[in-house]
Amino acid sequence: MTVVASDPAVVLKTVFGHAAFRGEQEDVVRHVVAGGDAVVLFPTGKGKSVCYQVPALCRPGVAIVVSPLIALMRDQVEALKQAGVRAAALNSAIAPEEIARSRADLLSGKLDLLYVTPERLMMDGFLTMLERLPVSLIAIDEAHCVSQWGHDFRPEYRKLGMLAERFPGVPRLALTATADADTRRDIVDKLHLQTARIFATSFDRPNISYAIALREGGRRQLRGFLDRHKGESGIVYCLSRRKVDETAAWLAMEGIRALPYHAGLDRETRDGNQDTFIREDGVVLVATVAFGMGIDKPDIRYVVHLDLPSSIEAYYQETGRAGRDGGPAEAFMTYGMADVVQRGRMIDEGAADDTVKRVERAKLNALLGICETTGCRRQALLAHFGEIYPGPCGNCDACRSPAETFDGSQAAQKILSAIYRTGSRYGAGHIIDILRGERTEKVGNAGHDRLPTFGVGADLDDRTWRSVLRQLVASGIVVVDHTAFGALTFGEGAREVLRGQRKVELRREAAPERGRSRRRMEATAVPSGPGDELFDALRAERLRLAREQGVPPYVVFHDATLRALAAAKPRDISGLADIPGIGRSKLERYGPAFLKVIAAAQ
Ligand code: ADP
Ligand code: ZN
């Protein structure tokens, strides 16, 4: 294809089929086309790829894209080829013959983009070879891998700094969706991007709706949720491998197409399940967090957490896998106090040193704070990343049905008093039994039925007491001592509360969900989707074409394109060209087949 056009907007339309740049994309593209370096900090789904793929086609030479994720590389190269772009990948998973072919193409100037792992790029002689070729730009994807502060530190990324000296005058971009202040500093420093322009956007994912609920009959809640998402692809995260297996098996028995994924499965099964999830529509993947890194399936419509994630960062990253295509998506979590105790135990039994453990405990508590907040979830999440989100978002459960609050000072005093009088040695269950005046064996044996606090909380039910307790833990007034089997102890401010010097405002727990969850959330209604006859017919055609070529369906067309087709029902090629996501190459390749489906449905 070489240089397609010097105008980025023309490239965007004719090659990728997008009518306009999204947000800051245009600024980045123009800056890079003009030869500037850039650091691009966009959340998942904002469209980082366009930031280097379009300049690659506007500038002469081959663009080098460094990426650590082999599976993702394969899909990106496939998608580019479908758009008529000459792209190839070099990594350890590619057969020698194909590598030889790609190298020959590279040397004869027949490549627009070359994807490489950092290991390949740094191999002896490879850089020297590249130096003799015209290079249009160098893009470093997943740039946070350069930072020790992140979870994905890759030592080889550190060496990429030398590209500045080896390729003077070639624009370089670093791109990532993870960027707290430390990581950002590391990217600039280690990749020698001190003079690069920084493009940062809000990390908000407006199309993702957040909901967090108390786990009460977890399977019923999951079933209710999935009933609203029939025919859609989604991920259900569980904490343990066993729970993954059990949940997947149960869903399968319920007639739902669910597949398990965790590190304990043999490689073949695991890869097969991942492949099915990516290549077919409407599969539920039940997984541990081992799944997800490097998956860029754009039409994941929901992410469910059946257990509390490990931190807010992890939660945001995991839920962020939903709705990359910008279409409506849901993040749904269920949790309970037991999760807090279990997570705490995992931290304590881990190999990390005390400082790290302290940080991890603080992270766990911050997450509990989000779960127990009475305010907008999005606001709380973004605040955690240092972003001020103005006002309620209207697209989270807290905004849709605002929580009622009440003065919980007295309830808090009763709990604290029971904890104090029993020597801070007991867990939630026992403390609540004392308050409710339950004469259990444990209560009797310890003589706790003789305490003045015995039975003072009979006015509230068990569920309410648990809610009060979780909120006290979330606010740090009560601390769970994980080294003592989840015993409750006093935290900061507990004494003030007990003495009546500090008020405690608490959220009243909503009535348990029954049937309510079956209603689709109005805010995210879409004009056409699964269940729409034409949409389903288009989707079947897409699957057929994808299978024929052995590629994932979204490589043919994204859901958004199918939705637009179903809504506009174009009758001819010129009508098709106006549909977002249909560039020149796909118009020729797939236009007639989809027109036929539309005509048949008239
Ligand atoms: P990121 O890498 O930031 O997560 P991608 O580059 O994978 O995002 O793009 C996310 C989705 O947005 C893709 O489905 C892509 O086709 C779509 N997209 C990107 N730019 C545009 C645009 N300007 N107009 C419409 N869709 C776009
Ligand atoms: Zn909200």
For 279-333, write each residue's pLDDT tens digit: 998 999 999 998 887 788 999 999 999 999 988 888 998 999 999 988 999 999 9
Instruction: Indicate whether 285 and 326 sit together in one domain.
Output: yes
Q: 238 pLDDT band (50/70/90 cuts)?
A: very high
Residue nearest to atom 19 of ligand 1 (CA): 47
d(CA 463, CA 436): 11
Which residues constitute the domain of residue 491? 405-509
Give residue-wise pLDDT tens across range 149-205.
666 788 889 999 999 999 999 999 999 987 677 788 889 999 999 999 999 888 899
pLDDT of 524 over the 80 cut: no
Instruction: Indicate whether 118 and 249 sit together in one domain.
Output: no
Residue nearest to atom 13 of ligand 1 (CA): 325
288 Cβ inside 6 Å of ligand 1: no
Instruction: Indicate whether 212 and 196 sit together in one domain.
Output: no
Beta bridge partners of 197: 38
d(CA 587, CA 595): 10
Q: What is the pLDDT of residue 210?
A: 97
In a domain, 1, yes or no: no
Give residue-wise pLDDT tens across range 392-428.
999 999 999 888 889 999 999 999 999 999 999 999 9
In a domain, 371, yes or no: yes
* The two three-digit tokens of residue 102, written as one number: 């790609």
With contact defined as beta carbons under 8 Å apart, do 429 and 521 qualify? no
Among 46, 51, 559, say which to mutate for ligand 1: greatest number of ligand atoms within 8 Å of CB. 46
**Average pLDDT in the 460-487 region?**
86
Give residue-wise pLDDT tens across range 341-370.
888 888 888 887 888 788 788 888 889 989
Higher pLDDT, 23 or 334: 334
**Ligand 1 centre and the CA of 352: distance in Å?**
38
pLDDT of 5 over the 80 cut: no
Instruction: Indicate whether 182 and 46 sit together in one domain.
Output: yes
Closest Cα to residue 17, out of 531, 507, 585?
A: 585
Single out the residue in 368, 383, 398 at which a domain terminates. 398
Give residue-wise pLDDT tens across range 34-91.
999 999 999 888 899 999 999 999 999 999 999 988 878 888 999 999 999 999 999 8
47 Cβ inside 6 Å of ligand 1: yes
* The two three-digit tokens of residue 153, written as one number: 């530190």
In a domain, 81, yes or no: yes
In a domain, 597, yes or no: yes
d(CA 120, CA 488): 53
pLDDT of 274 over the 90 cut: yes
d(CA 559, CA 340): 38
44 Cβ inside 6 Å of ligand 1: yes
**How many domains does the chain contain in total?**
4
Ligand 1 atom at minimal distance to the Cα of residue 18: 24
Among 15, 50, 140, say which to mutate for ligand 1: greatest number of ligand atoms within 8 Å of CB. 50
* Continuous H helices in 34-95: 48-58, 70-82
Kindly report the backbone phi and psi dihedral angles of residue 486, in degrees, each rounded to the nearest multiple of 5, phi listed first.
Answer: 80, 20
Single out the residue in 398, 423, 456 at which a domain terminates. 398
Instruction: Specify the residue for token string 């971009």.
Output: 173
**Ligand 2 centre and the CA of 122: distance in Å?**
46
Kindly report the backbone phi and psi dihedral angles of residue 214, in degrees, each rounded to the nearest multiple of 5, phi listed first.
Answer: -65, 140
d(CA 235, CA 258): 10
**Ligand 1 centre and the CA of 527: distance in Å?**
21
d(CA 72, CA 160): 20
Instruction: Indicate whether 120 and 159 sit together in one domain.
Output: yes
In this structure, what CATH number is given to the domain that contains residue 15? 3.40.50.300
Ligand 1 atom at minimal distance to the Cα of residue 141: 2
Q: 525 pLDDT band (50/70/90 cuts)?
A: very low
205 Cβ inside 6 Å of ligand 1: no
In this structure, what CATH number is given to the domain that contains residue 446? 1.10.10.10
Give residue-wise pLDDT tens across range 532-587.
889 989 999 999 999 898 888 888 999 889 999 999 999 998 888 889 889 889 99
In a domain, 22, yes or no: yes
Residue nearest to atom 18 of ligand 1 (CA): 47
Among 49, 80, 316, 556, say which to mutate for ligand 1: greatest number of ligand atoms within 8 Å of CB. 49
**Ligand 1 centre and the CA of 579: distance in Å?**
15
With contact defined as beta carbons under 8 Å apart, do 143 and 187 qualify? yes
* The two three-digit tokens of residue 173, written as one number: 């971009």
Instruction: Indicate whether 128 and 259 sit together in one domain.
Output: no
Single out the residue in 200, 216, 241 at which a domain terminates. 200
**Ligand 2 centre and the CA of 393: distance in Å?**
4
With contact defined as beta carbons under 8 Å apart, do 196 and 175 qualify? no
Q: 391 pLDDT band (50/70/90 cuts)?
A: confident
d(CA 11, CA 16): 7
Instruction: Indicate whether 93 and 172 sit together in one domain.
Output: yes
d(CA 593, CA 596): 5
Q: What is the pLDDT of residue 45?
A: 84
In a domain, 526, yes or no: no
Q: 4 pLDDT band (50/70/90 cuts)?
A: low
Q: What is the pLDDT of residue 598?
A: 93
In this structure, what CATH number is given to the domain that contains residue 557? 1.10.150.80
Instruction: Indicate whether 391 and 434 sit together in one domain.
Output: no
Q: What is the pLDDT of residue 153?
A: 80
Instruction: Indicate whether 42 and 169 sit together in one domain.
Output: yes
What mean pLDDT is reported for the chain? 90
Residue nearest to atom 15 of ligand 1 (CA): 47
Q: 476 pLDDT band (50/70/90 cuts)?
A: confident
In a domain, 295, yes or no: yes
pLDDT of 1 over the 70 cut: no
**Average pLDDT in the 218-233 region?**
94
Instruction: Indicate whether 217 and 196 sit together in one domain.
Output: no
DSSP 8-state code for residue 509: P
50 Cβ inside 6 Å of ligand 1: yes
**Ligand 2 centre and the CA of 96: distance in Å?**
51
pLDDT of 377 over the 50 cut: yes
Ligand 1 atom at minimal distance to the Cα of residue 580: 25
pLDDT of 27 over the 80 cut: yes
In a domain, 515, yes or no: no
HSE-up of residue 119 (Cα within 13 Å, Cβ side): 8
With contact defined as beta carbons under 8 Å apart, do 562 and 586 qualify? no
Instruction: Indicate whether 350 and 430 sit together in one domain.
Output: no
Collect all residues with Cβ–Cβ distance below 8 Å to 325 and sequence separation of at least 6.
Answer: 45, 298, 299, 554, 558, 559, 560
Instruction: Specify the residue for token string 């197409």.
Output: 257
Among 22, 28, 561, 579, say which to mutate for ligand 1: greatest number of ligand atoms within 8 Å of CB. 22
Instruction: Indicate whether 168 and 85 sit together in one domain.
Output: yes
